[in-house]
Amino acid sequence: MNKKHNNSLVWFRRDLRDYDHAALSHALQESNHVFCIFIFDKEILNALKHKEDRRVEFIWESVKELKGSLREKKSDLIVTHDLASNAISRAIDEFKIDAIYANRDYEPHAIKRDEAIKNLAIKKNVAFYDFKDQVVFEKNEILTALDKPYTVFTPYKNNYLKKLNQITLPRFDIEPFIKNLAQFKSEPLLSLKDMGFQTTNLHDIKIHTGMKGGKLLVEDFKERMSLYKKTRDFPAIKGVSYLSVHLRFGTVSIRQLFRLALESFNEGSESWLNELIWREFYFQILFHRPDVAFGKAFKKEYELIAFENNPDYFKAWTEGKTGYPIVDAAMRQLNQTGFMHNRLRMIAASFLVKDLLVDWRWGEAYFAEKLIDFDLSANNGGWQWAASTGCDAQPWFRIFNPMTQSLRFDPQGKFIKKYIPELYSLDNDEIHAPWLSQKTQKIDYPKPIVDHASQRIKALALYKSVKS
């Protein structure tokens, strides 16, 4: 059967797997020879502050596995460190490409980049196809009865579930069409050092990378999913899936995870499905309101909040030295591992904004720098939720009490003691507010930098001033 194209190029981005992959499946079915490429984009990498970046190392390890997998199939992965436009243009010329296949991205920078590549393809008389792959529903597929994007989660979720029940999740097969992978050998994988980066503690903290790492975590979570609703809020318990970084870089398939949740039929899988839908809710918010990616509050009246922005308070927060153990343990976990438990993200964010009265954008930027699973839509959505500036956010007058949150979600202080070992000698009653204990006079741990009750009153006044 005649194919639409002779030589096609599949451009991997945040979809680092060779199974259930929309762009790769379509390319293989429609082309005689399919070449694959991954670009370590200089425009993105050059903007990173630190050259020891766990995300870059996670990507590198995952690309290494993908390249090896394609080589086992007698093909290869072209890996280059360049601007996307340069790398794609060079590949078109070298391999006589007549079509480019990619999976869609929804961030403003990525949309702009892809438009530039589409224009390049037009100039070179090359077709460009993009596909939905990292979400189940995208763009305008879930709208209100008035054809408007949702700004409240629950009705969005209800409509989402209704539509989900009406479709069959597609499977983008690869194996039946493997023979159409181009048989060629590319250059050896460049090293992190070649790109100006260094290794991190990724292996020491046992972060599982690539498709194999994703599969390992999926299998592990299958055994615990039924307990997810009961355990997900307790950071000292192995309750969450730990799949967020794999979703971020596409080393697992979102459709695979939805199938897993839908096939399980228990309160844990239902709760986890809810979280997967929240992820897509934030994707559609970012798509319809790209201004939130540039520091704008979703609720525009909150642009007027005059945060105090004490730099010493912010520094203490980033270093895990606020004197509030649950907040400090959360921040130390982030700094040491690049991961923070979701309940702790809410606590730490609320504390920065409503106790320390620091602009949520400062915290959003810090998380963007540190989180290994950083995803623009979820990070922005989470911070605007905590700051009460976003869609369907925490009400402005609801302010987390860090001691109450600590007592409720880490009652025995196990998580706190793991990341603040200097408090190990404190008992369950003392560890949530160590400044009340006589023992802390001999412990090198800071006293609270602010009084929660006093700061709560100030925060309420600050928010009320823009609401009136």
Distance CA 301, CA 138 (A): 28
Over residues 350-375, the mean pLDDT reads 98
Q: What is the pLDDT of residues 252-296, one digit of tens each?
A: 999 999 999 999 889 999 999 999 999 999 999 999 999 999 999
114 and 148 together in one domain: no
Both 273 and 317 in a single domain?
A: no
At residue 25 the predicted structure's pLDDT band, cuts being 50, 70 and 90, is: very high
Region 93-108: mean pLDDT is 97
Q: Is pLDDT of 337 > 80?
A: yes
381 in a domain, yes or no?
A: yes
428-459: b or e for each residue (b if 16 or more CB lie within 10 Å)?
Answer: eebbbbbeebeebeeeeebebbbebeebbeeb
CA distances, 86 to each of 41, 115, 125, 126 (Å): 10, 14, 16, 15
User: How many angstroms separate the Cα of 36 from the Cα of each of 27, 87, 99, 171, 249?
Assistant: 10, 12, 12, 20, 17
| Residues 258, 330 within the same domain | no
Query: Looking at residues 438-467, what average pLDDT do you find?
Result: 91
Structural domain total, the chain: 3
Nearest to 50 by CA among 192, 203, 249, 204: 192
> Is 82 inside a domain boundary?
yes
Range of the domain at 276: 135-172+210-288
pLDDT of residue 320: 98
* Tens-place pLDDT, residues 402-442: 999 999 999 999 999 999 999 999 999 899 999 988 877 78
Dist CA 127 CA 98 (whole Å): 6
What is the rounded average pLDDT of the residues 308-332?
A: 98
| Tally of CB atoms within 10 A around 235 | 25
Res 462 pLDDT > 70: yes
What's the rounded mean pLDDT across residues 4-14?
A: 97
**Does 250 share its domain with 226?**
yes
User: What are the pLDDT digits (tens) for 137-181?
Assistant: 999 999 999 999 999 999 999 999 999 999 999 999 999 999 999
1 confidence band (pLDDT: 50, 70, 90): low
Examine the domain organization and report whether 235 and 144 are in the same domain.
yes
**Cβ-contact 463, 388 below 8 angstroms:** yes
Residue 303 has pLDDT above 60, yes or no: yes
Mean pLDDT of 36-42: 98
- Asked if residue 182 is part of any domain, the answer here is no
Domain match, 140 and 110 both: no
Is 52 exposed, middle or buried (CB count within 10 Å of its CB: 0-12, 13-18, 19+)? middle
CATH number of the domain that residue 359 is part of: 1.10.579.10
Pull the structure tokens for residue 180: 């159409």
Label residue 393 by pLDDT band (50, 70, 90).
confident
Same domain, 263 and 329: no
pLDDT (0 to 100) of residue 227: 97
Same domain assignment for residues 119 and 141: no
What is the percentage of the chain residues whose pLDDT exceeds 70?
100
Q: Give the domain-ending residue among 228, 253, 288.
A: 288
Average pLDDT, the chain: 96
Q: Are residues 163 and 43 in the same domain?
A: no
Q: In terms of domains, do 139 and 122 share one?
A: no
Tokens coding 377: 């839509």
Furthest-apart CA pair in the chain: how many Å? Answer: 82
Q: What share of the chain is helix, strand, coil (3-state, %, to 5)?
A: 55, 10, 40
Instruction: Kindly state whether residue 192 falls inside one of the protein's structural domains.
Output: no
Q: Are residues 252 and 340 in the same domain?
A: no
Residue 107 pLDDT grade (very low, low, confident, very high; cuts 50, 70, 90):
very high
Same domain, 367 and 414: yes
The pLDDT of residue 392 is: 82
Please determine, for residue 468, whether its predicted confidence score (pLDDT) is greater than 70: no
Query: Is 204 inside any structural domain?
Result: no
Judge contact between 467 and 396, C-beta under 8 A.
Answer: yes
Tell me if 33 sits within 8 A of 6, measured CB to CB.
yes
Is 410 part of any domain?
yes
CATH code: domain of residue 120: 3.40.50.620
Report angle CA 146, 150, 155 to the nearest 5 degrees.
95
The answer to the question of residue 119 being in a domain is: yes
pLDDT at residue number 304: 86
DSSP string, 171-201: ----GGGGGGB-----PPPPPTGGGT----S
Nearest to 349 by CA among 338, 337, 359: 359
